[in-house]
Amino acid sequence: MSKTFHRRTLAIAAAALFAAAAPLGTVHADETCNSPYTARLIKGQERYLHVWTLGVKGMGDGSDKLVTIDVDPKSKQYGKVIHTMSVGGRGEAHHMGFTDDRKYLWAGRLDDNKIFVFDVGTDPTQPKLVRTINDFVAKSGYVGPHTFYAMPGRMLVQALSNKKDHGGVTGIAVYNNQGEYVGKHDMPVNNAAIGGGDGYGYDIGINPEKNVMLTSSFTGWTNYMMDLGTLVKDANAMKNFGNTMAIWDAKTLQPKKVFNVPGAPLEIRWSLKEGQNWAVTATALTSKIWLIKQDAKGEWQAKDVATIGDPAKIPLPVDISITADGKGLWVNTFMDGKTRYFDMTDPENPKQTYEMVAGKQVNMVSQSWDGKRVYLTTSLLGNWDKKGADDEQFLRIYDWDGKELKQKLDIDFYKLKLGRAHHMKFSGEAPTRSASIGAASTLLASGR
């Protein structure tokens, strides 16, 4: 499919959708989009990057896999793929999340709903698959485990869909860290007391200091598993995208208020700067940055504060990454392959100050805690990624000096027969200055 056709069809569909549109803290994490409850902060240079990768039929082993890359510039293996863990099959690998102790990575698949638990804490150079959770649909009734968000001793799993009709009405499942199902919380639907709700979900963001949790909204299995070219021509299907965010009591996991945020608000990022309790999201179909913060009366409000690119061209904002000081926001736009930097010094008036074409398509963006290194990958969804020569699949790492991105590394995932590069998480140095209690006991007994 040509780029022009791709954009034009999306423009038509997005116009139809828009016309029909309804109505943290003091705990810091190294990579700014982790849950505020995540421990074992990486101080300084990140050592390894784990990339959750979609398998491609006929390419390599064709399996979804966790790819680990050495990203320490001082390492002799810098830029090398040092480990891959194939999990078998292709189930639409998508996103991951650390447990609160950072020892395990939970990685989900949106089609077959499997959740893979990797031990990356014992030795991040050799992740091990320790558990596969197969009861997500049976227990919760939800489909598409998307966001994995740690709370103490448990994992919140935001789903995208449901088993009844594969539409977008969904909820959040809760598992304990041992992989046992605890319970579920439906997204608000038509709840007049709190402002309505369309029942859709996507991302989670908690601010512990304020005891609030934000959620956003995307689309259901029928849409996200459909070929994008087919989807955008289906006016009825294009109506089935989320147009809301909700704010919840983070303790009781009860929704308190629904905001009207048209155009599929996706990733949520709280400012991590102490005393600044606001969050942002970007809307995929309407290309806006929305700000969620309390007004002068303490009431939470959501408002549109900036435009991303030219909405008429449907750049399709996807992943975002906020700087640790809350002053900057990276926003990727999938269709034009651009990564954009917004000055967030005044979150009520973000200003784009930089952009760069990273490739033919770009999705995920991660950054080091000091903001000096930026990581980009490409895959959005298996059936939404571009086709032919435009279907580049890479990991690119850049140095950022505040003015310009300078590419340091380029790993072609197709050339290496790995698959589609998607979600990224950092690991620090393998533990050499600590030992498990059992191992330490052995050391003591041996006289060391």
Partner 1 sequence: MLALAAGMPPALAHAGAHPPAARGADSPAAVPQVQPPKQDFVANPAGSYRLPVLQQAANGWVLDGSRVPRRLSRYTHGTVTLLSFVYTYCSDPIGCPLAYATMADLKSRVLADASLHGKVRFVSLSFDPTNDTPDAMRLYGAEHAKSTALPWHFLTTYSPRFLLPILDGYGQDVEVELDAKGAPTRARTHMLKLFLIDPGGGVREIYSAAFLHPEVMFNDIKTLVMEAPAPARQARP
**Site residues (CB under 8 A) for partner 1?**
25-27, 36-37, 39-40, 100-101, 103, 121, 151-154, 174, 176-178, 180, 182-183, 208-212, 249, 251-252, 254, 277, 431-441, 443-444, 448
- In SS3 terms, 163-226 reads as CCCCCCCCEEEEEECCCCEEEEEECCEEEHHHCEEECCCCCEEEECCCCEEEECCCECHHHHCC
Give the shortest CB-121-to-partner 1 separation in angstroms: 8
Give the shortest CB-99-to-partner 1 separation in angstroms: 9
- For residues 425 and 418, give the distance between their C-alpha atoms in angstroms, rounded to a whole number: 17
Q: Closer CB to partner 1, residue 312 or residue 435?
A: 435
Q: Are 186 and 171 in contact (CB under 8 A)?
A: yes
**Residues 6+ away with beta carbon under 8 Å from 38:** 29, 98, 100, 102, 150
Please, what is the end-to-end C-alpha distance for the chain in angstroms?
65
Q: How far is CA 207 from CA 51, 157, 247, 291, 324, in A?
A: 27, 17, 11, 15, 15
Give the shortest CB-212-to-partner 1 separation in angstroms: 8
**Residues 6+ away with beta carbon under 8 Å from 2:** none
Tokens 């009844």 sit at which residue?
164
Give the shortest CB-442-to-partner 1 separation in angstroms: 9
Residue 16 zone, left/alpha/beta (φ > 0; ψ -120 to 50; rest): alpha
Q: Closer CB to partner 1, residue 56 or residue 156?
A: 156
Q: Closer CB to partner 1, residue 221 or residue 369?
A: 369
Q: Are 69 and 82 in contact (CB under 8 A)?
A: yes
Q: Closer CB to partner 1, residue 166 or residue 210?
A: 210
Q: String of b and e for 265-286 (b: at least 16 CB within 10 Å)?
A: bbbbbbbbbeebbbbbbbbbbb
How many other C-beta atoms are found inside a 10 Å radius of the C-beta of residue 303? 13
**Residues 6+ away with beta carbon under 8 Å from 183:** 173, 174
Q: Closer CB to partner 1, residue 260 or residue 276?
A: 276
Q: Closer CB to partner 1, residue 171 or residue 382?
A: 171
Give the shortest CB-41-to-partner 1 separation in angstroms: 11
Q: Closer CB to partner 1, residue 209 or residue 391?
A: 209
Give the shortest CB-39-to-partner 1 separation in angstroms: 5
Give the shortest CB-136-to-partner 1 separation in angstroms: 17
Q: Closer CB to partner 1, residue 253 or residue 416?
A: 253
Distance of CA 119 to the CA centre of its chain: 20
Q: Closer CB to partner 1, residue 33 or residue 335?
A: 33
Tokens 């649909």 sit at which residue?
137
Give the shortest CB-29-to-partner 1 separation in angstroms: 11
CA dihedral sign, ordered 243, 114, 41, 339: negative
Phi, psi dihedrals of residue 244, rounded to the nearest 5°: -140, 160
Q: Residue 130 in 3-state DSSP?
A: strand
- For residues 340 and 260, give the distance between their C-alpha atoms in angstroms, rounded to a whole number: 25
Give the shortest CB-92-to-partner 1 separation in angstroms: 29
Give the shortest CB-399-to-partner 1 separation in angstroms: 31
Q: Closer CB to partner 1, residue 151 or residue 291?
A: 151
Q: Closer CB to partner 1, residue 122 or residue 352?
A: 122
Q: How far is CA 220 from CA 73, 123, 162, 329, in A?
A: 41, 36, 8, 27
Give the shortest CB-154-to-partner 1 separation in angstroms: 6
- For residues 50 and 70, give the distance between their C-alpha atoms in angstroms, rounded to a whole number: 9
Q: Closer CB to partner 1, residue 174 or residue 226?
A: 174
**Encoded tokens for 245:** 């965010």
Give the shortest CB-429-to-partner 1 separation in angstroms: 13
Q: Are 213 and 292 in contact (CB under 8 A)?
A: no
